[in-house]
C-alpha cells in the first residue's frame, strides 16, 4: 500500500502553536500582567436568539415520529437554498436556488471542490492568503503558482497576463489582510479567467462585513457566471463557527470539457457527503429571516466597532494598514522595519498584546501583522491604548 | 481548465430513481391499493429522548457568551472520543480516545479517507456492497478489483490469495446483504491484508445490530491494529441519519511508507474539514450514556422484530436469504429464477410491496432482492402476509 506522497510536501504550519507557546511562556513569567488577545480568529459573541430558537425547534422535530427527519438531501433542503437565493437578491445578485449546495462549511468545500478538477491544472493562489487553499492543492498534487501582493497593491493581488493558470482562488474580503476588491478589480479577474478558460473559486466568507460600495458576490460582475464558483459560510456572518454550515454556488452556465460543473459537484457530494444536520439547516434558515438578519447585524456591528477602534489608532500613529472597514481583520505594517515575529515579541513583551505574524499566511506577509476584532470592546479599547502608548 | 475525467467512468445509478418511478406509476394506476415500502434505507423512529435533550442543551449553550462554542477540534471533542473508547470497551475492544476522529458521517469518511492513499493502489471491493466505495475510488482514478460473493459463501466474500490488493473495503454486517463475518473469517482477511501490506477499511456502520456472538469491531481480531481503519456511524445505531455524526478509528500502530496513517488523516481533516457541530457532538455523547444506550436499544429492538417477521416468513416459504439476525436488512433469493427487476415488478404488481433489486449493489446481486426492517410493525406484518400469500 502506497500512501499519498504529496503529504511529504506539506510544510508543517506551527504558526498558531508558536503563538500559543510564546504567549504561555510570557504569562508564566509575567503573572501580574493581563495579556489581551487581538489574534483571535474565531467569533466570540453568542448566536442570535432566533437562530438558537430555530435550532432547538429543529431538535424538537426529531423527538416525534411525525416530524422526524432522516437523511437530508445531499445538496441541502430547498427552503434554505431559496432563502440564500433571496439573500443574494437583497444585494442585487440573481442566482437560482438550485445552484446553491449546502455544506458543513466553506473550508470543506474549498478543499473538496478539487475532486471535480483534474490534477493536471495549475492553481493560482494569492499571497498572503488563508493557508488551506495551498495545502489542499499540494495534497492533490497540483502545480501551484502565486499571485504576490504587497503595500503597492494594497494587498489586492491582480492578474498577471504572463502567468497562465487554470484554477484561481480569490478571497474577498481577504483573510488575513481584510482588503476587499472593487468591481473594476474583480472584472479584471473575471476577464483574465475567461481568457484563460480558468475557473475562479471565490471565497466570500467575509462578505457580510462589507460596508462600503463593493461587490458582495463575484456574480455581480458580468461574465462571472461563466467562470466562477462562489464559496460562502455562516461562520463569520452569523457566528456559526461551532454550528458548521456553509454553501457553494455553482452556476448552471459553468461548463468545461462538455460537462456542467454543477452536475460534477452534485455527483461528488452525492458520493462523498451525506448532507447537513436538519437542526443546523433550520438554524441557518433563521439567519436569513428579517429578524435573523437584524440580530446577526448587531454582532457584526460590534466587531466593526472594534475594528474601527484599531483602525483609528493606526491612523493616529500614521501606520499603514489594510482592512478594518469591510472585514474583521486589520493587516498592519510592522513599525520600524521589524519582521513579523520581531514585532510579535515586541508587542507581547512591551504591551502584553497578542496578534498574528503575517508570514504565517505566505511569504508576502513578512513585515506585516494581523489584528482581529473578535475580542470585547473593553479589551480591544485597552489593547489599542497600550499599542498607542508603545508606538507613539 | 481540465475537469476530472474519471467522472465520465462513473456509471449513473438510477436504482432508487427507477424504484421510485415504477412505484409512482403503480400507485397512479392502482389508487385503491395501499403500497407498503420494504425498501426503506433510512431509519423512521424518532431520536431517543435523552439525545434530543442533550442536543437542545447544546443549542442553549450557544445562546450565551459564557457557554458559547466556536470552532470545534478537527478530530472532535475529547469527551465524545472518550465515550466512544468506553463504548468499545463494553464489547471487549481496547482503543485509545486519541485514535478516534469524529466526523459528519461514515459516508464522508469512506470517500475522504482516500486522500491519504496514493492513486497507484489497487482497491478490492466485495460484490455486492454499498455503492459509494466503488464510485469514490473511480473518482480518484484507482484500479478496482472485486471480491465476488454468492449463495455459496452466504454472501460473505473471502480473500483470494491470487488477487493482489492494497486497499480493501469490508462492510460487516453488510449493506445490502445483512451477512456478518465471524471472527475466523475476519482473521482470514486480516492475515491476507498483513501478507499483502494492505489496509482494510472496515465499515462497521451496522455493528449495533449484531445480536449473535460475532465481532462488533475488526479490532477484536489479532493483528487488525496493524492493517485496519474502522469507520462507524450513529446513523443506524442511534437514528442519526438526519443528525449527521460518525467516527473513524485510526490505530497509532498503522504505519505505511514510514508515516503514521493517524498523522496523515489528522492532516487531511485539519486541511479539508472543520469539525462537527457542538450540539451534534453533545447529542452523540448522550447516545453512549447508560440511559442513551437503553433508549437506543428500544429502537434497534423494534427494527429487529420487523426483521424477524420477514425472516420467519421466508423460512416458512423455504426461500434462501441472508441477514435479518444481525442487521436491519434481509437479502432474499428471487423465487422461480426471476431476475431482481422481474421480482420487483412481480411483487409490486401482485402484492403492492416495494423492495430493492439486488443488482443495484453489484453484478453478484442479480437474482436477489433486499427487504428492510425500517417500516412499522403493522405495515411490515401486512407486507409479509401479502408476500406469504403470493409465494405460497
Hey, are the CB atoms on B1 and A167 less than 8 Å from each other?
yes
Distance, CA of B332 to CA of B319 (rounded, Å): 7
Peptide bond into B115 cis (omega under 30): no
Hey, are the CB atoms on B274 and A243 less than 8 Å from each other?
no
Tell me, yes or no, if B59 comes closer than 8 A to chain A by beta carbon. Answer: yes
pLDDT at B330: 98
pLDDT at B165: 98
User: For A162-175, what is the mean pLDDT?
Assistant: 98
CA-based nearest distance B316→chain A, Å: 32
Hey, are the CB atoms on B62 and A42 less than 8 Å from each other?
no
pLDDT at B11: 87
Tell me, yes or no, if B70 comes closer than 8 A to chain A by beta carbon. Answer: yes
Number of Cβ within a 10 Å radius of residue B195: 12
pLDDT at A24: 96
CA-based nearest distance A38→chain B, Å: 16
Contact A158, A172 (CB under 8 A): no
CA-based nearest distance B338→chain A, Å: 30
- pTM above 0.95? yes
Residues 168-227 of A with CB under 8 A from B: 197-199
When mean pLDDT is compared across A16-20, A242-246, A370-374, B97-101, the lowest value belongs to A16-20
User: For A55-62, what is the mean pLDDT?
Assistant: 98
- Give the whole-number percent of chain A exceeding pLDDT 90: 97
pLDDT at B16: 87
Its ipTM equals: 0.97
Distance, CA of A142 to CA of A171 (rounded, Å): 19
End-to-end CA distance of chain A: 60
Of all residues in chain B, the one with the smallest CA distance to A200 is B1
pLDDT at A11: 87
Question: Which chain A residues have a beta carbon less than 8 Å from that of B62?
Answer: 46-47, 52, 55, 242-243
Distance, CA of A158 to CA of A179 (rounded, Å): 12
pLDDT at A13: 78
- Express each pLDDT in B350-373 by its tens digit: 999 999 999 999 999 999 999 999
Hey, are the CB atoms on A241 and B71 less than 8 Å from each other?
yes
The DSSP secondary structure of A113-162, one letter per residue, reads GGGGB-TT-EEEEEES--THHHHHHHHTT-EEEEEE--GGGTT-----TT
Distance, CA of B364 to CA of A271 (rounded, Å): 21
Tell me, yes or no, if B121 comes closer than 8 A to chain A by beta carbon. Answer: yes
Distance, CA of B137 to CA of B228 (rounded, Å): 18
Among A2, A47, A52, beta carbon nearest to B120: A2
Tell me, yes or no, if A248 comes closer than 8 A to chain B by beta carbon. Answer: no
What confidence tier does B162 reach under pLDDT thresholds 50, 70, 90? very high
Question: Which chain A residues have a beta carbon less than 8 Å from that of B72?
Answer: 242, 244
Chosen for mutation from A242, A254, A280 (greatest number of chain B CBs closer than 10 Å) is A242
Residues 294-323 of A with CB under 8 A from B: none
Question: Which chain B residues have a beta carbon less than 8 Å from that of A121?
Answer: 1-2
Residue B335: burial class (beta carbons within 10 Å; 0-12, 13-18, 19+): middle
Q: Strands, E, within B217-296: which ranges?
A: 228-233, 246-249, 255-256, 259-260
Of all residues in chain A, the one with the smallest CA distance to B233 is A274
Question: Which chain A residues have a beta carbon less than 8 Å from that of B65?
Answer: 44-46
Chosen for mutation from B62, B168, B257, B378 (greatest number of chain A CBs closer than 10 Å) is B62
Residues 11-50 of A with CB under 8 A from B: 42-47, 49
Tell me, yes or no, if A59 comes closer than 8 A to chain B by beta carbon. Answer: yes
What confidence tier does B204 reach under pLDDT thresholds 50, 70, 90? very high
CA-based nearest distance A197→chain B, Å: 6
End-to-end CA distance of chain B: 60
CA-based nearest distance A51→chain B, Å: 9
Contact B57, B383 (CB under 8 A): no
Hey, are the CB atoms on A72 and B242 less than 8 Å from each other?
yes
Q: Number of CB pairs < 8 Å for A and B?
A: 232
- Express each pLDDT in A282-311 by its tens digit: 999 999 999 999 999 999 999 999 999 999
Amino acid at each position: 500500500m502506497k500512501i499519498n506522497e504529496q503529504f511529504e510536501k506539506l510544510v508543517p504550519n506551527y504558526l498558531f502553536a508558536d503563538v500559543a507557546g510564546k504567549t504561555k511562556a510570557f504569562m508564566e513569567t509575567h503573572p501580574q500582567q493581563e495579556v489581551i488577545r487581538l489574534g483571535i480568529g474565531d467569533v466570540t459573541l453568542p448566536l442570535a436568539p432566533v437562530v438558537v430558537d430555530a435550532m432547538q425547534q429543529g431538535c424538537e422535530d426529531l423527538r416525534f415520529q411525525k416530524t422526524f427527519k432522516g437523511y437530508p438531501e445531499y445538496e441541502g433542503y430547498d427552503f434554505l437554498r431559496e432563502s440564500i437565493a433571496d439573500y443574494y437578491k437583497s444585494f442585487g445578485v440573481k442566482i437560482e436556488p438550485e445552484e446553491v449546495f449546502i455544506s458543513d462549511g466553506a473550508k470543506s468545500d474549498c478543499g473538496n471542490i478539487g475532486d471535480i478538477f483534474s490534477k493536471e491544472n495549475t492553481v493560482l493562489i494569492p499571497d498572503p492568503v488563508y493557508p488551506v487553499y495551498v495545502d489542499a492543492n499540494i495534497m492533490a498534487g497540483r502545480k501551484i503558482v502565486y499571485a504576490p501582493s504587497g503595500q503597492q497593491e494594497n494587498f489586492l493581488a491582480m492578474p498577471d497576463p504572463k502567468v497562465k493558470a487554470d484554477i484561481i482562488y480569490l478571497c474577498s474580503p481577504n483573510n488575513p489582510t481584510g482588503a476587499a476588491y472593487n468591481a473594476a478589480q474583480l472584472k479584471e479577474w473575471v476577464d483574465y479567467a475567461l481568457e484563460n478558460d480558468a475557473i475562479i473559486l471565490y471565497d466570500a466568507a467575509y462578505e457580510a462585513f462589507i460596508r462600503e460600495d463593493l461587490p458582495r458576490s463575484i456574480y455581480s460582475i458580468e461574465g462571472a457566471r461563466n467562470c466562477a464558483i462562489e464559496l460562502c459560510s455562516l461562520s463569520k456572518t452569523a457566528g456559526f463557527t461551532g454550528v458548521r454550515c456553509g454553501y457553494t454556488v455553482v452556476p448552471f452556465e459553468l461548463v468545461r470539457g462538455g460537462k456542467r460543473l454543477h452536475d460534477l459537484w452534485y455527483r461528488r457530494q452525492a458520493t462523498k457527503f451525506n448532507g447537513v444536520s436538519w437542526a443546523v439547516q433550520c438554524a441557518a434558515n433563521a439567519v436569513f429571516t428579517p429578524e435573523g438578519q437584524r440580530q446577526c447585524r448587531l454582532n457584526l456591528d460590534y466587531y466593526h466597532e472594534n475594528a474601527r477602534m484599531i483602525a483609528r489608532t493606526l491612523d493616529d500613529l500614521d501606520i499603514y494598514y489594510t482592512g478594518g472597514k469591510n472585514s474583521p481583520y486589520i493587516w498592519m505594517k510592522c513599525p520600524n522595519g521589524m519582521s513579523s515575529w520581531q514585532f510579535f515579541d515586541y508587542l507581547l513583551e512591551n504591551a502584553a498584546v497578542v496578534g498574528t505574524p503575517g508570514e504565517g499566511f505566505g511569504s508576502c506577509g513578512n513585515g506585516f501583522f494581523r489584528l482581529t476584532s473578535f475580542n470585547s470592546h473593553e479589551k480591544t479599547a485597552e489593547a489599542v491604548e497600550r499599542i498607542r502608548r508603545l508606538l507613539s
